[in-house]
Amino acid sequence: MAIGSAQEMLIGGSWVPSASGETFDAISPATGELIAAVPQGDRGDARLAITAAREAADGWARLTAFERAAKMHAVGDIIASRRELLARTLTLDQGKPLHAEAYDEVDELVEYWRMAAEDAKRLGGELPNSVSAGKRVMLVRRARGVIGVISPWNWPYTMPAELIAPALASGNTVVWTPAPTTAFCGIELARCIADADLPAGVFNIVTGPGPVVGDEIARNPGTDGVAFIGSTATGRLVGQAAAGKAVLLEMGGNGPLVVMDDADLDAAVDATLTACFLCAGQSCTAGERILVQHGIRDQFVELLGAAVTERIRLGDPFDPATTMGPLNNEPVAAKMDAHVSDAVNRGATVVAGGQRASGHATDLYWQPTVLSDVPADASVAVEETFGPIAPIVAIDSLREAISLTNAGPYGLLAAIFTADLQVGLEFADRVRAGWVNINESSNYWEPQLPFGGRAGTGSGIGRVGGAHVMESFTELQTVVITPDRRR
C-alpha cells in the first residue's frame, strides 16, 4: 500500500468511500509521515452498514458451526500470509517496535481466529429435565444477530479480534468501527477478513469519529449487542447509548503491582519492566502504580532504575535494537507530562527518565520513567496514566496494599509478588479485581481465559477471552418438546 494513498470502508461486501467523500489523515506517530487518507464515515455510513449486517444475519446464523469455523480458519491463514505487511503497518500506524512487539501481535492475532473457529464448534446447549414425564427440553444457543464492535488503538489487531472473531464464529454479523488513530491498521485487518469470502454484509467496517460512528452503532436499533474496549469515560457513554441491548464493556484499569518484602526482587523487577513499558505503558493492565513494602523499597528502586537504563531502549520502532517506541497520540503524551509534573511537585523523585525525549522524528517519544517517593494520592497513582512510567508508592503492609487497591475506581487486574502463597491468596480474595496474578506481571494474560472488570467498578462488565465471550454474543432459547400422544 502506497504511503498517503486513499482508503475505503467495507459495507455490504463492497469497498466504498464515505458517503460525504470526506477523509481524515492517518499520521504515523513513529515518523510523522502521512500514511493514508482514511474515510471519515458518519451516521449515514454506519446505518448503511447496520442495514447490510441485518440483511445478512439470518443466512449467516443458519450456517453450521463447522461452516463458519472454516471461514474463521481462512481469515487466520490470510493473516499469517500477510504477517510482514501487517506488522509493518502496525509499527507505522500505532508505533510499536517491529521486532520487539509488532510481529508478536500479528502472530497472536492468527491464534484469535483459530481459537474462535474451534470454540464455535464446541458451543453447545443443555438438556435439562422437565417436570412432566415424557417431555423433553432443549436449551439451544442462538446468535443475537448484529453485533456492533468499538475497539481501541493500543492493540489495534488483537483487541478487535477478540470480539469480532467469536462474534462471527458464533453466528452473528458485525459492524466494526476502529479507533481513528489506528484506523489504517483496522482497514488492513478488514482486508484480511473480506478476502476470506464471507457473504456480503456479514462483516463491515466504518471508519470515523467515535462520538459519531461509534455512537450510532451503539444506539441504533439495528444492532442487537454492543462490544466495547477502551477508556472508562467512553465506555460509560457507550453503555448509556446501548441501553436495553446485550452489552460487553472492557474498560480502564489502574491495578497495582505489589511487591512484598519477601519477594524475589529480580523476578519482581523483570515483571515491572513488562508491566510498565510493554506497548510504552499504553495498556489497561499496565503497572500503573508499584506498591513496594518499606523494607525492600530502596533496593527495589535501585534495581529497577538500573534495569530501565540498561534494558529499555527507546528509539526508531523499525530498528531491531528498539524495545519501546513512541506514544500513539498527543493526548496520551500530554497526560504523561501532567502526571509526572504533578508527582514531582508533590515530592516524588525522578529515578530515570522524567520527560519527553528529544532528537526523534516526532514529539511523541517519552523517556521510560521511574518515580520514587510517589504520594499514594498523586494523579499518577490514582488515575490511568497510560504511558511508560513506574510510579513507586511505599506501603507498610498487605492490609495497606489491599486498601489502596480497593480505594480506587477501577477493578480490572492486580498483581502481587510474595514468597508466601497464603499472602498472595489473601490478596486475591480481598481485592476487587477481575484478574489477579501472583508472582507474575500485571501485563500477563492468556487469551483463552475470561478477562474483565469486577462489578461495581469502572473497569466494565462481561468477559472477553476464548469461548467465554460467546456467552455475551449468544442467548439461550428454550425448546420444550411434547411427544405426539395419538401414538
Q: Which cell numbers in the block locate residue 478?
A: 428454550
Q: What 3-state class would DSSP assign to 404?
A: helix
Chain mean pLDDT for the chain: 97
pLDDT at 332: 98
Which is the catalytic residue, given 185, 276, 279, 284? 284
Domain ranges of the chain: 5-251+462-476, 256-456
Q: Which cell numbers in the block locate residue 29?
A: 506517530
Residue 93's CB: how many other CB atoms inside 10 A? 26
Residue 2 reports pLDDT greater than 60: no
Residue 239 reports pLDDT greater than 60: yes
What is the secondary structure of 278-331 as a DSSP string? GGGG-STTS--EEEEEHHHHHHHHHHHHHHHHHH--BS-TTSTT-SB---SSHH
Residue 5 reports pLDDT greater than 90: no
265-276 pLDDT, tens digit per residue, is 999 999 999 999
Q: Which cell numbers in the block locate residue 58?
A: 439470518
Instruction: Give yes or no: 185 in active site.
Output: no
39-89 pLDDT, tens digit per residue, is 999 999 999 999 999 999 999 999 999 999 999 999 999 999 999 999 999
C-alpha dihedral, 41 to 43 to 47 to 49, nearest 10°: 20
Architecture of the structural domain at 256-456: 3-Layer(aba) Sandwich (3.40)
Long-range contacts of 243-248 (CB under 8 A, 24+ apart): 246/144, 246/472, 246/473, 246/475, 247/461, 247/462, 248/163, 248/452, 248/460, 248/461, 248/462, 248/463, 248/464, 248/469, 248/472
- The mean per-residue pLDDT over the stretch 199-221 comes to 98
Q: How far apart are CA 439 and CA 320, in angstroms?
A: 30
Which is the catalytic residue, given 101, 250, 384, 471? 250
The DSSP secondary-structure symbol of 366 reads B
**Overall CATH class of domain 5-251+462-476:** alpha beta
Residue 137 reports pLDDT greater than 70: yes
Nearest CA to 208 among 234, 178, 188? 178
pLDDT at 244: 96
Residue 34 reports pLDDT greater than 70: yes
**Structure pTM?**
0.97
Instruction: Give yes or no: 400 in active site.
Output: no
Residue labelled with grid coordinates 492468556: 446
Residue 1 reports pLDDT greater than 50: no
* Percentage of the chain modeled with pLDDT above 90: 97
Q: How far apart are CA 444 and CA 428, in angstroms?
A: 16
359-400 pLDDT, tens digit per residue, is 999 999 999 999 999 999 999 999 999 999 999 999 999 999
pLDDT at 74: 98
pLDDT at 8: 98
Q: How far apart are CA 231 and CA 347, in angstroms?
A: 29
